[in-house]
């Protein structure tokens, strides 16, 4: 296995880490206007993610940095090619951060309701934009021989990518709902408990349809699955995880349901990565212009240094991430320091 | 306007706005560590009270830093794709290291720090705070490292392996320890600590003027003023001077622009105020003879290389660099005066507590330290032009070829509106937090019941619920 292949694997791990961790707090943001009826309930939902959302978002920053270093050509082509979409991602990321920080700083109802909407809509916006970006990557983009593309915002909003975005919204809402089942109580919990199975059903239908559409639409994707049948282990694992999550929700085992949901997200991303590999960004202009794990990777010196960083850093990251989640476990109680 | 100029305007705008916040969090963080240490060491409840108050302000500042910081990481790719492809192997790996070693540490412990006041004993709260501040300091270190490589690049070779020319790492040690790195990180950390301590001074002086929270306000000033004054002196005579010497050795054209020196000469003067005319190649104003030679080589006869040694197409905008540099220098001198005078009034019969004009000056100081720190960063960045990587890659050749001016006008307008709104709300909330003042001291019994070691956190449940089941 070459260093660039190892880094492709690690990169997918980082993306999955982001989707699992920030996924549930984006989901909480999207669910908030639908399940929380009072200011206290909204605060409980916000404080369920209060101590951890920032650490979760760091995985996105890490993903950006790792892509820049390990696959600089992909980073440069993708970010410049999706210029306006990336600017909108920044817009919603900034709005969401300040909304979380600002909303409870004043008592005024109008103030709070304004920032609540900003928080929800920006959570929705991030999910949609990331979904659209992923959809376009799977679908292929108009890369030329220099790895340059110019896809306007309108070009990004094709039906397939929007379908990926809608599925992502359902997936993160479901994941957020399962997370909240561990964090809230009373009427709010009842509402969420009633909602989660419906979200799950909706997600299952959307996901199944999307898998079908992907296999029909992307010949290379389907071919990869025919050539390397063992990679079917990823979608199989995802299916198993969905069923486990369903079973654990029915038995009100929220923590294991949450773990199953996390495994489901990771395996779905694994399934996408395995279907694309070794291509990272397919070119719709000419397959020869596609950016692959081999032609877009950094040199071995850089990848080695980065691997050393990852080996030293990751255990610490996992250690204090686990520590913080353990410390803030259990149902939310509001106090003076809460958001 | 050319797309290059638009790209530069956007980056300058977003990075300058971001750079308001990290020095504040680094400096206020350092003061919070001192409060925390005193809370652990003494029985006086005021230290925990001060921590509780300043952690809230810290949270507000820190969230602004997070919100505006991610923008730069995106912009390298969105606006400077040629640059990104060229330097990804080197610059990218330093950013990735920042993510894994610094941001993860901050992100992991920030929750504990911000919510620790009602959940952690003094010792563990101090631990969480120290981890966050350490993370912020590492972050600054990696960023200055990456930027220093752009100023004084080494440890690389340029090859084309099918994706255009790219810089490949030949020695990681050389990439990390470029000649400018150590002088620059020292200069930057001292600047950040000055910004943070001046923030604490400003709030303390405000309370004394309003005759509110007098005892706590005096404590803030007692902690922050000596630090501020010592740092102000060290910054000029040691860190700043050291930095200027480094620039004179590594980037002589930048130093020449900073002082508006066109001809190479011995006994080169140092300006206090002046104006440089790039067309006529003259600089006029008030200057101290020979001081620049003394600064760079510790002797008045030393020869200082002027801009004439560099082809004019490789000059930065001389007067711009000159002005921002002198703004920083003059503010630096002013800080020594402010700190010295305030210390003198304090020692001399405690007159500081009643000296209303001095307190007013202290309230304003945080704005001045912010301006000085920004001017320093501008000097470094404007002075590096027209290079994005010094003598290796031109800024004009580094932009994204596929991003047109329409898209750039849109994104610049978006950032201007968004940042204006966010800054307005931030300042309003900061003002409210400060006017609200510190909370009443926490009950000793409550503090004692909070978990204060790893064992207590992880083995048994604390009496006050940490949200436990």
Residue of chain A nearest B55, judged by CA positions: A337
Instruction: Report the residue from B107, B118, B166 with minimal CB separation from A336.
Output: B118
- Distance, in Å, from the CA atom of A106 to the CA atom of A98, rounded to the nearest integer, reads 14
CA distance B457 to chain A (A): 7
pLDDT digits (tens, 9 = 90+) for A3-54: 999 999 999 999 999 999 999 999 999 999 999 999 999 999 999 998 888 8
**Cis amide leading into A278 (omega within 30):** yes
Average pLDDT score over chain B: 92
Q: Quick check: A299 and B76 CB within 8 A?
A: no
Q: Quick check: B104 and A336 CB within 8 A?
A: no
Burial B12-45 (b: 16+ CB within 10 A, else e): eebbebbbbbbbbbbbbbbbbbbbbebbbeeeee
Contact list, B60 vs chain A (CB under 8 Å): 101
Q: What is the 3-state secondary structure (H, E, C) of chain B?
A: CCHHHHHHHHHHHHHHHHCCHHHHHHHHHHHHHHHHHHHHHCCCCHHHHHHHHHHHHHHHHHHHHHHHHHHHHHHHHHHCHHHHHHHHHHHHHHHHHHHHHHHHHHHHHHHHHHCHHHCCCHHHHHHHHHHHHHHHHHHHHHHHHHHHHHHCCCCEEEEECCCCEEEEECCHHHHHCCCCHHHHHHHHHHHHHHHHHHHHHHHHHHHHHHCCCHHHHHHHHHHHHHHHHHHHHHHHHHHHHHHHHHHHHHCHHHHHHHCCCCCCEECCCEEEEEEEECCCCEEEEEEECCHHHHHHHCCCCCEECCHHHCCHHHCCCHHHHHHHHHHHHHHHHHHHHHHHHHHHHHHCCCHHHCCHHHHHHHHHHHHHHHHHHHHHHHHHHHHHCCEEECCCEEHHHCCCCCCCHHHHHHHHHHHHHHHHHHHHHHHHHHHHHHHHCCCCCCCHHHHHHCCCCHHHHHCCCCCCCCCCC
**Cis amide leading into B386 (omega within 30):** yes
> Residue B466: is its pLDDT beyond 60?
no
Q: What is the mean pLDDT of residues A285-308?
A: 91
Contact list, A326 vs chain B (CB under 8 Å): 458
- Distance, in Å, from the CA atom of A315 to the CA atom of A325, rounded to the nearest integer, reads 15
| CB neighbours of residue A42 within 10 Å | 23
Q: Read off the pLDDT band of B43 (50, 70, 90).
A: confident
Q: Quick check: A77 and B164 CB within 8 A?
A: no
Q: Read off the pLDDT band of B148 (50, 70, 90).
A: very high
pLDDT digits (tens, 9 = 90+) for A205-239: 999 999 999 999 888 889 999 999 999 999 999 99
Asked if B147 contacts B181 with a C-beta cutoff of 8 angstroms, the reply is no
Instruction: Report the residue from A60, A65, A146 with minimal CB separation from B92.
Output: A65
Contact list, A83 vs chain B (CB under 8 Å): 78, 400, 402-403, 407, 411
pLDDT of residue A330: 83
Select from B333, B262, B269 the least CA-distant residue to B295.
B269
B44's enclosing H/E stretch is none
- Distance, in Å, from the CA atom of B341 to the CA atom of B194, rounded to the nearest integer, reads 16
The interface predicted TM-score (ipTM) is: 0.91
Is A3-281+288-327 assigned to CATH 1.20.1630.10?
yes
- Distance, in Å, from the CA atom of A158 to the CA atom of A161, rounded to the nearest integer, reads 6
pLDDT of residue B115: 87
pLDDT of residue B460: 54
Q: Quick check: B92 and A296 CB within 8 A?
A: no
CA distance A169 to chain B (A): 23
pLDDT of residue B462: 45
Instruction: Report the residue from B119, B402, B467 with minimal CB separation from A331.
Output: B467
CA distance B408 to chain A (A): 9
pLDDT of residue B461: 53
pLDDT of residue A324: 86
Chain A from 47 to 66: CB within 8 A of any B CB: 50-52, 54-58, 60-62, 64-66
pLDDT of residue B453: 82
pLDDT of residue B469: 34
CA distance B230 to chain A (A): 34
Residues 6+ apart with CB under 8 A from B264: B303, B304, B305, B306, B308, B309
Query: Mutating which of B11, B53, B76, B92 best tests the A interface, going by the most A Cβ atoms within 10 A?
Result: B92
Q: Quick check: B88 and A147 CB within 8 A?
A: no
Contact list, A76 vs chain B (CB under 8 Å): 77, 81-82, 84-85, 88, 400
**Phi first, then psi: what are they for B166, rounded to 5°?**
-135, 145
Residues 6+ apart with CB under 8 A from A155: none
Specify the pairing of strand B387-389 against strand B393-394.
antiparallel
pLDDT of residue B26: 96
Contact list, B166 vs chain A (CB under 8 Å): 72
Q: Domain ranges in chain A?
A: 3-281+288-327
Average pLDDT score over chain A: 92
Q: Quick check: B98 and A327 CB within 8 A?
A: no
Higher pLDDT, B371 or A333: B371
Contact list, A64 vs chain B (CB under 8 Å): 70, 73-74, 77, 95, 99
Q: Read off the pLDDT band of B427 (50, 70, 90).
A: very high
Q: Quick check: A328 and B104 CB within 8 A?
A: no
pLDDT digits (tens, 9 = 90+) for B273-298: 999 999 899 999 999 999 999 988 88
Q: Read off the pLDDT band of B381 (50, 70, 90).
A: very high
Least confident range from B19-23, B170-174, B385-389, B449-453: namely B449-453
* A225 alpha carbon, distance to own chain's centre: 23
pLDDT digits (tens, 9 = 90+) for A239-286: 999 999 999 999 989 999 999 999 999 999 999 999 998 999 999 888
- Distance, in Å, from the CA atom of B325 to the CA atom of B256, rounded to the nearest integer, reads 11
Q: Read off the pLDDT band of B447 (50, 70, 90).
A: confident
Query: Mutating which of B93, B422, B460, B468 best tests the A interface, going by the most A Cβ atoms within 10 A?
Result: B93
Chain A from 72 to 111: CB within 8 A of any B CB: 72-73, 75-84, 86-87, 89-91, 93-95, 97-98, 100-102, 105-106
Q: What percent of chain A shows pLDDT beyond 70?
A: 100
Residue of chain B nearest A73, judged by CA positions: B85
pLDDT of residue B467: 41
A142 touches chain B (CB under 8 A): no
Residues 6+ apart with CB under 8 A from A316: B104, B105
> Residue B463: is its pLDDT beyond 70?
no
């Amino acid at each position: 296995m070459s260093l660039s292949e190892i880094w492709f694997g690690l990169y997918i791990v980082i993306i999955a880490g982001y989707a699992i961790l920030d996924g549930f707090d984006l989901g909480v943001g999207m669910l908030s206007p639908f399940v929380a009826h009072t200011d206290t309930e909204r605060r409980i939902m916000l404080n369920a993610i209060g101590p951890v959302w920032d650490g979760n978002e760091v995985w996105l920053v890490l993903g950006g940095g790792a892509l820049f270093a390990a696959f600089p050509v992909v980073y440069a082509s993708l970010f410049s090619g999706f210029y306006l979409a990336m600017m909108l991602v920044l817009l919603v990321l900034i709005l969401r951060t300040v909304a979380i920080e600002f909303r409870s700083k004043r008592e005024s109802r109008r103030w709070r309701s304004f920032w609540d909407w900003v928080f929800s809509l920006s959570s929705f916006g991030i999910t949609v934009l990331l979904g659209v970006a992923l959809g376009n990557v799977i679908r292929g983009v108009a890369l030329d021989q220099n790895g340059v593309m110019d896809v306007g915002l309108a070009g990004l909003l094709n039906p397939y990518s929007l379908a990926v975005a809608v599925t992502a919204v359902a997936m993160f809402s479901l994941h957020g709902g399962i997370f909240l089942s561990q964090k809230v109580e009373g009427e709010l919990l009842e509402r969420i408990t009633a909602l989660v199975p419906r979200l799950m059903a909706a997600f299952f239908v959307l996901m199944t349809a999307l898998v079908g559409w992907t296999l029909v639409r992307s010949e290379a994707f389907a071919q990869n699955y025919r050539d390397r049948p063992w990679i079917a282990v990823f979608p199989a694992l995802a299916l198993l995880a969905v069923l486990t999550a369903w079973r654990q929700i029915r038995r009100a085992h929220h923590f294991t349901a949450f773990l199953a949901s996390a495994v489901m997200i990771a395996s779905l991303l694994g399934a996408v990565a395995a279907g694309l590999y070794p291509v990272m960004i397919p070119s719709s202009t000419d397959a020869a212009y596609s950016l692959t794990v081999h032609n877009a990777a950094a040199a071995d010196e850089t990848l080695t240094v980065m691997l050393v960083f990852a080996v030293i850093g990751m255990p610490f990251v996992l250690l204090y991430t686990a520590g913080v989640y353990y410390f803030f476990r259990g149902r939310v109680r509001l106090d003076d320091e809460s958001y | 306007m050319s797309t290059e100029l638009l790209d530069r305007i956007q980056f300058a705008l977003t990075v300058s706005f971001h750079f308001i916040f990290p020095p504040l969090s680094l400096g206020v963080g350092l003061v919070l560590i001192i409060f925390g240490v005193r809370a652990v060491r003494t029985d006086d409840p005021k230290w925990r009270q001060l921590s509780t108050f300043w952690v809230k302000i810290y949270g507000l500042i820190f969230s602004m830093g997070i919100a505006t910081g991610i923008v730069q990481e995106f912009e390298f790719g969105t606006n400077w794709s040629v640059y990104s492809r060229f330097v990804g192997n080197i610059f990218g790996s330093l950013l990735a290291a920042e993510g894994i070693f610094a941001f993860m540490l901050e992100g992991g412990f920030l929750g504990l720090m911000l919510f620790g006041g009602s959940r952690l004993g003094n010792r563990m709260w101090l631990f969480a705070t120290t981890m966050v501040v350490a993370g912020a300091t590492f972050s600054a270190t990696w960023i200055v490292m990456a930027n220093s490589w752009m100023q004084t690049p080494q440890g690389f070779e340029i090859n084309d392996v099918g994706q255009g020319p790219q810089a490949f790492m030949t020695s990681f040690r050389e990439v990390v320890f470029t000649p400018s790195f150590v002088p620059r990180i020292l200069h930057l950390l001292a600047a950040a600590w000055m910004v943070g301590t001046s923030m604490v001074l400003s709030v303390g002086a405000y309370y004394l003027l309003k005759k509110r929270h007098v005892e706590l306000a005096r404590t803030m000033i007692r902690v922050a003023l000596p630090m501020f004054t010592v740092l102000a002196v060290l910054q000029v005579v040691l860190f700043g001077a050291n930095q200027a010497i480094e620039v004179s050795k590594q980037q002589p054209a930048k130093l020449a622009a900073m002082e508006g020196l066109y001809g190479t000469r011995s006994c080169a003067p140092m300006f206090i105020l002046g104006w440089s005319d790039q067309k006529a190649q003259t600089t006029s104003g008030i200057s101290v003879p020979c001081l620049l030679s003394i600064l760079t080589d510790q002797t008045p006869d030393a020869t200082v290389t002027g801009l004439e040694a560099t082809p004019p197409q490789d000059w930065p905008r001389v007067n711009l660099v000159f002005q921002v540099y002198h703004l920083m220098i003059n503010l630096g001198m002013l800080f020594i005066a402010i700190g010295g005078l305030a210390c003198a009034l304090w020692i001399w019969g405690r007159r500081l507590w009643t000296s209303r004009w001095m307190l007013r000056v202290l309230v304003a100081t945080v704005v001045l330290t912010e301006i000085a720190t920004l001017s320093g960063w501008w000097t470094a960045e404007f002075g590096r032009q027209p290079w994005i990587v010094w003598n290796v890659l031109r800024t004009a050749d580094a932009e994204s070829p596929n991003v047109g001016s329409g898209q750039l006008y849109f994104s610049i307008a978006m950032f201007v509106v968004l940042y204006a709104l966010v800054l307005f709300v931030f300042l309003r909330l900061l003002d409210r937090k400060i006017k609200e003042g510190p909370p009443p001291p926490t009950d000793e019994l409550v503090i004692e019941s909070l978990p204060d070691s790893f064992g207590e956190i992880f083995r048994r449940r604390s009496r006050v619920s940490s949200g436990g089941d």
